[in-house]
Structure 1
Amino acid sequence: MLKKLILACSALSLLLPHTVTAETILFHNMNGYTLTGEPGSDAQLRRFDAVIVVDGKVAAVGSKKNVTENRSWQFDQTVDLNSKTVLPGIIDAHGHVLGLGLGLLEADLRVAESERDAVQTVTAFAANQAQSDWIIGRGWNQENWPSKRFPTRQSLDESFANQPVWLTRVDGHAGWANSAALKLAGITKDTVSPDGGDIIKDANGEPTGVLIDNAMKLLEDVIPAPSIERQQQALQLAFQHLLERGITGVHDAGVDATNIQLYQNFAQQQQLPVRIYAMIGANEPRLPELLAAGPILTPDESLTVRSVKIYADGALGSRGAALLEPYHDEPGQRGLLVTAPEQLHELYQLIIPHGFQINTHAIGDRANRIALDEFARSYQSIGGRNLRHRIEHAQVVHPDDIPRFKELNIIASMQPTHATSDKNMAEDRLGKERMEGAYAWQTFLEQGTIVAAGSDFPVELANPFFGLHAAVTRQDRDNQPAGGWYAHEAVTLEQALRTFTLDAAYASGQEQTLGSIEPGKWADFIVLDQDPFAQEPSKLWQPTVLATYVAGEAKFER
């Protein structure tokens, strides 16, 4: 069914130009690795030292002698890779491309070590901005601060009495505003928290400035939307950022109609250098119209749109992840259902008949159970089991529900660096007993579930080698804790590479043409200065990308 859908998508998209140069190229003298065969545990790791690319696709792979002796090739170009290591292009199965690009244009609070440090960072950033503009930033994380408490509007008011400021938490599920911003949004002590959101208030009932999940929309609705020109600039910055890190494809987790149109414009102008598998955001007002129009697939597979992203809950760090039992460190709180179960049911019933894949964000064990229940319910009423539905994050899953991923044919879209970022607070939030089903990568792989790996950039840094390192070691880049954090869930390097390549391609229905260096597939690959398979695991995060090729063309060279 999925292959038929792909063919149908191609037929709908013939107006978009093919961007591949008709050339025959020999790449040789390399230390190459790729997974081959079917996705999942049956895939085999293969070594090679030469690749022949014809019209952007792999025509032959193996030793130079073997790939050249069987026929008389006429090479337009021969590229000597100087014994460097070659891997398939990395596919980040969960990122936010526009968010990454806009973040590169906004205040970056990721390294702020305290609330005061964050304010100072924003103040320095604002010195170069027009005084009338909103000040926008992202990346603060109170769990990295000595207080471990949410920030307040008062600290921002000291530097920004009149200019509105809005700073999104690192996970994108909470925001911090000053008084000027709250005033523009009309948020007062009398404002009631919306369903699926929380306006944090102090002992006097006054808003502190921190808004969680759906409450964020109350403020974000009054922020002027970035212009089309600014969005274009942001996307181009993001493309370059990703290519420099060896990422040739991204599953863009939640885009609106404007973003899709921008992607189509880039594709028509042959300016989409990274392959985009875009998930339509379920909150897009034009969702029914977009579904009815059918999937989008450019002939060169630079752009694919045939899935929908739904938010079931929030994030663990802001206590928005929906849990079956109360938070260990806040007994009265069970998290937030961003989309009510009845709404989730309506969305599944809307989306599946159009043949679109559903990708449901679920971090807490309650949200994961609700999503799984709804998949099971939908299969019985309208089918859709064959559409390779996904749960995005699958971060905290009750042990009883893990086997259901396999039973229901659900892909687990997981982000290795979330574990190493969350290790300083996850046990606080959950308590030790509930860690059994948390960040359980190896458990999912052992039962035969396809795991598609990503970073969730800009929540985490986009560098995929940080993810490979975290997956294999269960440690941060300071190699802490010793021995790894819940190390029994660590994966092998081969497994980790598979989740970022072949299995990620399977998760978008593109494993026949992407995800490995094999004949008939697009020639997407990267060149590294180090061999990950010859390194100590502690150094897996250190390789530098020397070149990134998409369809056999160098899109980035250092």
Structure 2
Amino acid sequence: MLTKLIPSKVTAFAFIGALLSFSSTSVLAQTVYTDANGYTLTSPAGQDAVLTQFNTLVVQNGRVLAMGGHELADKYPDFEQVDLNGKTVLPGLTDAHGHVLGLGMSLLQVDLRDADSVNDAVGLVGDYAKQQPNLSWITGRGWNQEQWPSREFPNASQLDEVVNDRPVYLTRVDGHAGWANQKALQMAGIDAGTVAPDGGEIVKDAQGNPTGILIDNAMGLVENIIPEPSAEDKRQAFKLAFDHLLALGITSVHDAGVPATDLSIYKGLQHQGQLPLRIYAMIAATEPQLPQLLAEGPFTTNDDKLTIRSVKIYADGALGSRGAALIEPYSDDHDNHGLLVTSPENIDALYELIIPHGFQINTHAIGDRANRIALDAFEDKFASIGGRNLRNRIEHSQVVHPDDLKRFKELNIIASMQPTHATSDKNMAEDRLGKDRMQGAYAWQTLLDQGTMIAAGSDFPVELANPFYGLHAAVTRQDRQNQPQGGWYSEEAMSTEQALRAFTIDAAYAAWQEQDLGSLEPGKWADFIIVDRDPFAIDSSDLWKIEVEQTYIGGNNVYTK
């Protein structure tokens, strides 16, 4: 449903110099934006949200004072007036599941996302190593063997051809597998006799020797000996990530799995006025200080830049590396059920610890077994100690047994899902699962139809952070080459309105923030973006092409193209 507060047609003019010239770091405390082609969902969140068009936006002291038609401008003659000349305005977008430090660090490493073969990836590593002769470790991220002709895992000897005097460690695109050269394996003490830790796998060849591929909990064998970045290194990485996200129109991020050291960095940045966007931090369940952090209670700053009131738990691995925990074996690996990164007993104990403190639980579950374990644990704890109304979430909710889909609604669980995962996984998901299990996979519309809230994100740097790639994937179920024709399991596609809702007001709801964020309604923070085209007026195949021209948080300009 679309409510219009402006005439049905707004002529879109080109930006003129006057608009671009007012892109200072902050705007006047009282500003009226006129002639906007504005869209926002209005409260409440969920199915009852109403898509509303507006022409005029009034901002005072960082918050929306009023939103409506042309007549509003005349009511505020003393306010600064800015003519947007028909440009499209949207609420600032929320990424409900990303890894901010991981994004920043990835911008400082070799990027293998576009490697189209193992030789291409090895060549990129070799080039990077030559450019960085002083680095003691060569690290990188983004390889994906499913995008290569062989579709086979790479091995250490391939890396040794280009770098054998320094350790090399490269994280798979999903973050659930690592590729090491022989030097890194030796430094970690990994050989034929090494036993993988619970929840992990050391891939070995026919002779029993490690190939260089480590999956899930086995990754720590190498990762634990890589020198930790300093606090200053992390601050620089955070700032790189912030700039990257603001340029994409992302004004709020739910940071999935943050250790105590990084929470302290966030607090320091916010205190110093160096946190330009909003962070909803999920404490990592593996954090040794978790009981103490829970005892301190939820944390929110007065400017709503930093909120800490949730915990991220890993139940299983990822589908691409066959680490997602499945009820039945993998269709393309009949002896493999995937991996539980956290045992059901430990998940149960964590729920028991977290719920009494009033913190939201956000459980990573990709496979149908992991989703069932998470749902069972929620059901059990709700019956014994409560917590049903904590807006608990399952992160990814990717492959769910059809019998369990309805339990999301019954147990009041939010599905935190990443639309680009479907278009990235479409080449291998059916191989992994078989046709029958696809009924409960990437089931966005099924969940929406039953009234389950979906909070949308990207899982960056696993996927690219651009939220318009996510909007496009959600609506078309196609990649950016318009494949497959008609969309991949297109019956589960979202409408443009549903997708925008999932990236705005519903994502805010999933962080307990819908009273202050997620829409451009009076009283909420004036977080908005100006984009170069109207998502409701263009062909859905072009949604990914939308570019951000300006980003505002709390009425302040924080990015101009």
Query: In the alignment, which residue of structure 1 is the partner of 2:478?
Result: 475
1:20/1:513 Cα in 2 relative to 1: closer, same or farther (>3 Å)?
farther
Please say if residues 56 and 523 of structure 1, whose CA atoms lie closer than 8 Å, have aligned partners that are also in contact: yes
- The reply on whether 1:402 has 2:408 as its aligned counterpart is no
Q: Secondary structure at the match of 1:484?
A: coil
Q: Distance in 1 between matches of 2:26 and 2:55?
A: 24
- How far did residue 479 of structure 1 move? 0.4
Specify which of 48, 51, 61 is matched with residue 45 of structure 1.
51
- The reply on whether 1:103 has 2:106 as its aligned counterpart is yes
Query: In the alignment, which residue of structure 2 is the partner of 1:112?
Result: 115
Q: Distance in 1 between matches of 2:364 and 2:317?
A: 8
Q: Secondary structure at the match of 1:387?
A: coil
Query: In the alignment, which residue of structure 1 is the partner of 2:520?
Result: 517
The residue type paired with residue 480 of structure 2 is R
Q: Secondary structure at the match of 1:428?
A: helix
Please say if residues 20 and 551 of structure 1, whose CA atoms lie closer than 8 Å, have aligned partners that are also in contact: no
Query: In the alignment, which residue of structure 2 is the partner of 1:33?
Result: 39
1:204/1:522 Cα in 2 relative to 1: closer, same or farther (>3 Å)?
same
- How far did residue 285 of structure 1 move? 1.2
Per mean C-alpha deviation after superposition, the further-off stretch among 357-366 and 285-294 is 285-294
Query: In the alignment, which residue of structure 1 is the partner of 2:266?
Result: 263
- The reply on whether 1:385 has 2:391 as its aligned counterpart is no
Q: Secondary structure at the match of 1:210?
A: strand
Query: In the alignment, which residue of structure 2 is the partner of 1:9?
Result: none
The residue type paired with residue 157 of structure 1 is D
1:172-191, aligned counterparts within 5 Å?
172-191=175-194
Specify which of 492, 496, 500 is matched with residue 497 of structure 1.
500
Please say if residues 252 and 280 of structure 2, whose CA atoms lie closer than 8 Å, have aligned partners that are also in contact: yes
The residue type paired with residue 529 of structure 1 is D
Q: Distance in 2 between matches of 1:24 and 1:47?
A: 22
1:239/1:132 Cα in 2 relative to 1: closer, same or farther (>3 Å)?
closer
- How far did residue 227 of structure 1 move? 1.0
Q: Distance in 2 between matches of 1:528 and 1:20?
A: 19
- How far did residue 473 of structure 1 move? 0.5
1:116-515, aligned counterparts within 5 Å?
116-515=119-518
Please say if residues 319 and 429 of structure 2, whose CA atoms lie closer than 8 Å, have aligned partners that are also in contact: yes
1:21/1:288 Cα in 2 relative to 1: closer, same or farther (>3 Å)?
farther
Q: Secondary structure at the match of 1:317?
A: coil
Q: Distance in 1 between matches of 2:412 and 2:436?
A: 27
Specify which of 83, 86, 94 is matched with residue 83 of structure 1.
86
Q: TM-score, normalised by structure 2?
A: 0.95
Query: In the alignment, which residue of structure 1 is the partner of 2:64?
Result: 58
- How far did residue 73 of structure 1 move? 4.9
Query: In the alignment, which residue of structure 1 is the partner of 2:15?
Result: none
- How far did residue 130 of structure 1 move? 3.6
Q: Distance in 1 between matches of 2:121 and 2:82?
A: 47
Query: In the alignment, which residue of structure 2 is the partner of 1:547?
Result: 550
Q: Distance in 2 between matches of 1:88 and 1:73?
A: 25
Structure 1 unaligned segments of length 5 or more: list them: 1-18
Per mean C-alpha deviation after superposition, the further-off stretch among 448-457 and 156-165 is 156-165
- How far did residue 79 of structure 1 move? 1.9
Query: In the alignment, which residue of structure 2 is the partner of 1:15?
Result: none
Moved over 2 A (4+): 19-22, 71-74
- How far did residue 293 of structure 1 move? 1.3
- How far did residue 72 of structure 1 move? 4.7
Q: Distance in 1 between matches of 2:248 and 2:27?
A: 24
Matched pairs, number: 537
- How far did residue 289 of structure 1 move? 1.1
Query: In the alignment, which residue of structure 1 is the partner of 2:13?
Result: none
Please say if residues 90 and 501 of structure 1, whose CA atoms lie closer than 8 Å, have aligned partners that are also in contact: yes
> Once the two structures are superposed, what CA deviation does each residue of 1:6-65 show, in whole Å capped at 9, x if it has no partner?
xxxxxxxxxxxxx99881111111100000121111111100111111110000001131
Please say if residues 32 and 73 of structure 2, whose CA atoms lie closer than 8 Å, have aligned partners that are also in contact: no
- How far did residue 442 of structure 1 move? 0.2
> Once the two structures are superposed, what CA deviation does each residue of 1:447-504 show, in whole Å capped at 9, x if it has no partner?
0000000000000000000000000000000000000000000010000000000000
Please say if residues 26 and 557 of structure 2, whose CA atoms lie closer than 8 Å, have aligned partners that are also in contact: no
- How far did residue 349 of structure 1 move? 0.6
The residue type paired with residue 78 of structure 2 is Q
Per mean C-alpha deviation after superposition, the further-off stretch among 285-294 and 511-520 is 285-294
1:164/1:46 Cα in 2 relative to 1: closer, same or farther (>3 Å)?
same
Q: Distance in 2 between matches of 1:384 and 1:273?
A: 33
- How far did residue 68 of structure 1 move? 3.5
Q: Distance in 1 between matches of 2:34 and 2:268?
A: 35
Q: Secondary structure at the match of 1:534?
A: coil
Q: Distance in 2 between matches of 1:220 and 1:242?
A: 26
Q: Secondary structure at the match of 2:536?
A: helix
Q: Distance in 2 between matches of 1:72 and 1:282?
A: 49
Per mean C-alpha deviation after superposition, the further-off stretch among 119-128 and 521-530 is 119-128
Q: Secondary structure at the match of 1:400?
A: helix
> Once the two structures are superposed, what CA deviation does each residue of 1:238-285 show, in whole Å capped at 9, x if it has no partner?
000000000000000011111111110111011111100000000111
Q: Distance in 1 between matches of 2:28 and 2:354?
A: 38
Q: Cα RMSD over matched residues?
A: 1.1
Q: Distance in 2 between matches of 1:354 and 1:200?
A: 40
Please say if residues 32 and 76 of structure 2, whose CA atoms lie closer than 8 Å, have aligned partners that are also in contact: no
> Once the two structures are superposed, what CA deviation does each residue of 1:87-124 show, in whole Å capped at 9, x if it has no partner?
00000000000000000000000001111110110111
The residue type paired with residue 147 of structure 1 is S
Structure 2 unaligned segments of length 5 or more: list them: 1-24
Q: Secondary structure at the match of 1:523?
A: coil
Q: Distance in 1 between matches of 2:213 and 2:174?
A: 14
Query: In the alignment, which residue of structure 2 is the partner of 1:5?
Result: none
The residue type paired with residue 38 of structure 2 is G
Query: In the alignment, which residue of structure 2 is the partner of 1:14?
Result: none
